[in-house]
Structure 1
Amino acid sequence: MGLEPFSFFLFLATLALVAATSRGTYLEIPHQIHLLRPKSGARTNDFPDLSCLSWRLAVETNNIIGWKTTPEKCEGYLGHYMLGQQYREDSEAVAYEAIVYAQSLELAGDGREIWIFDIDETSLSNLPYYAKHGFGVEPFNSTLFNEWVNKGEAPSLPESLKLYKKLLSLGIKIVFLTGRPEDQRSVTENNLKNVGFYTWENLILKGSSYSGETAVVYKSSERKRLEKKGYRIIGNIGDQWSDLLGTNAGNRTFKLPDPMYYIS
């Protein structure tokens, strides 16, 4: 077909994504992506002494910070990870521990106990976008990404949806706290509802007053506002460390995997 192996894979993945149903379900993508499976983990350009697997571990544990793009040699490895079974299993492990923790709590049942959810790569998955545009090797293109967001077609991350439903059944209210701007409120609300996140206590988007502020400052400030209103943050889940660091983070935090980008 005249396509390089990785480009050919993206073409096939995109066809699968287009054909999949996103309403309340997750995209079914073949797990055996041999074109993207390195024999032992390629060495990276920026970190020549690390394999891609070791680089991903260092990213997830917040030991490598402030990075702008993923190492070029690791794009195939990350594509295999994100579209394969391991990413789903890692997400399931996080959601399972969150459910075990929530079930262990003695809840007051006064309607003031909340659990904070990030949105992108936590509640909603942008894998259809990244499967088309690459896994973090190129600098982030806000124009293309916002075009994708405004379609409102992101599927749920099913493990997070499972956690969400369990928390509601326990009487815990949900607050979505996202770095998406206010002008994406309507499309975000509709997207969440269309894939199963049908109710919440609050949906907080980043207003202009936080222009230039880091995600840590913004999210800490908004969590503080919630606690001043009398809410108790008993849980907090996100894919970025900036979702979980800072002040007023909650009684316990849970980090979902995401080696595709870094937000400070």
Structure 2
Amino acid sequence: MAAAAWVFVMVLAIIVITCSNASIHDLRPRPGFGGHLVDCLSWRLAVETNNLRNWTLVPQSCENYVGNYMLGKQYSRDCKAVANAALEYAGSLNLTGDAKDIWVFDIDETTLSNLPYYARADVQFGALPYNNTKFNEWVAEGTAPAIPSIRYLYKKLLSLGIKNVFLSGTNARFKEVRVANLHKAGYHSWEKLILKGEEDKGLSAVAYKSKRRTELVKQGYKIVGNIGDQWSDLLGDNAGSRTFKVPDPMYYIG
């Protein structure tokens, strides 16, 4: 009886230790969170499916939820699931072999992650108003890390003979720092890097990206795939033969 009790205590201790170690990025309600897990999970689903549009801030009650999601394992798993689906699709293509098959990649929260910036106390995972000056200062540092699963997709597409094009809403004045950052993060050998110039001023994200993709098509390219974290990356003219959405519950660009 004593031995059985001892075994029970040991098992219980192991469970407690395991749970304690695993709760760093736990998505369950936590003190200060208010217990709104179901509401925030539903909110994130609405965001990812584009049922909720034109929102400006992450709900204050969901800040912890979004932070735990982005820093935890689920976000990485979701990105990997998107990359795997894209790879399966790419492997099924009958490519022309004329060097005109391209895949369009967004940059922010697609190929490069700004999570170190959004995790800051003065940003709080999108729960505080966007500050253009602060974000541009972060971009200018050129230290954004890669999203590993998307970088893997990028490299596999190259091995299949598909050329990659970066199409970003980043201001063209950051071209040099963006090139350096992409190289540092492990991205090389792209066909084009398209950033937003003065001629694009005033255009919505959908209009700007549609315009630039249409230019690519007019140059003879065939957009076989398109991947981005915003629906505005994937909607509009010449969006591509197939689009893939990377999760991003931190901000919305229309």
Shared fold per TM-score greater than 0.5: yes
Equivalent residue letter for 2:99: G
Q: Choose which of 62, 79, 82 in structure 2 pairs with 1:74.
A: 62
Whichever residue aligns with residue 135 of structure 1, its letter is F
Task: Mark the CA change 1:226 to 1:190 in structure 2 (over 3 Å): closer, same or farther.
Answer: same
- Residues 37 and 80 in structure 1, CA contact (< 8 A), matched pair in contact too: no
Which consecutive residues of structure 2, in runs of 5 or more, have no partner in the other structure?
Answer: 1-20
1:254 matched to 2:244? The reply is yes
Q: TM-score, normalized by length of structure 1?
A: 0.84
Q: CA deviation at 1:34?
A: 5.5
SS in structure 1 of the partner of residue 125 of structure 2: coil
The structure with the largest alpha-carbon Rg is: 2
Q: Which residue of 1 aligns with 2:112?
A: 124
Q: Equivalent residue for 1:106? A: 94
1:92 and 2:83 matched: no
* Segments of 4+ moved more than 6 angstroms: none
Deviation at 1:41, TM superposition (A): 8.1
* Partner residue, 2:155: 165
List aligned pairs for 1:99-248, cutoff 5 A: 99-132=87-120, 133-248=123-238
Q: Give the TM-score normalised by the residue count of structure 2.
A: 0.87
How far is 1:42 from its partner? 4.1
User: For 1:91-134, what per-residue CA distance to the aligned partner results, in whole angstroms no more than 9, with x for missing partners?
Assistant: 00000000000001111111000000000000000010011131
State the Cα distance separating 1:199 from its structure 2 match: 1.5
Separation in 2, partners of 1:154, 1:260 = 16
Deviation at 1:209, TM superposition (A): 1.3
RMSD across aligned C-alpha pairs, in angstroms? 1.7
Q: What letter corresponds to residue 202 of structure 2 in structure 1?
A: G
Question: Do 2:224 and 2:241's aligned partners in 1 also have CA atoms closer than 8 Å?
Answer: yes
Per-residue CA deviation, residues 168-198 of structure 1 (Å, 9 max, x unaligned), is 0001000000000010000000000111101
Deviation at 1:88?
0.4
Give the Cα–Cα distance (whole angstroms) in 1 for the partners of residues 238 and 190 of structure 2.
20
Does the CA-based 8 Å contact 2:25-2:69 persist in structure 1?
Answer: no
Assess, with a 3 A threshold, how the Cα gap between structure 1 residues 245 and 31 changes in structure 2: closer, same or farther: farther
1:26 aligns with none
Report if the CA contact (8 A) 2:34-2:61 is conserved: no
1:33 alignment partner, SS class: helix
Counterparts in 2 of 1:34 and 1:158: CA distance versus 1, 3 Å: closer
Contact 1:233–1:251 under 8 Å retained in 2: yes
Q: What CA distance in whole angstroms lies between the structure 2 residues aligned with 1:52 and 1:96?
A: 26
Deviation of 1:221 (Å): 0.4
Alignment check: 8 A CA contact 1:178 1:205 kept: yes
| SS state at 2:141 partner | coil
Residue identity in the other structure for 2:83? A
- With 104-113 and 227-236 compared, the bigger mean Cα shift is at 104-113
Q: 1:31 to 1:143 in 2, by over 3 A?
A: farther
In percent, how many aligned pairs have the same letter? 59
Alignment gaps of 5+ in structure 1: 1-29, 45-49
Q: Retained in 2: the 8 A contact 1:59–1:65?
A: yes
Provide the residue aligned with 2:4 in structure 1.
none
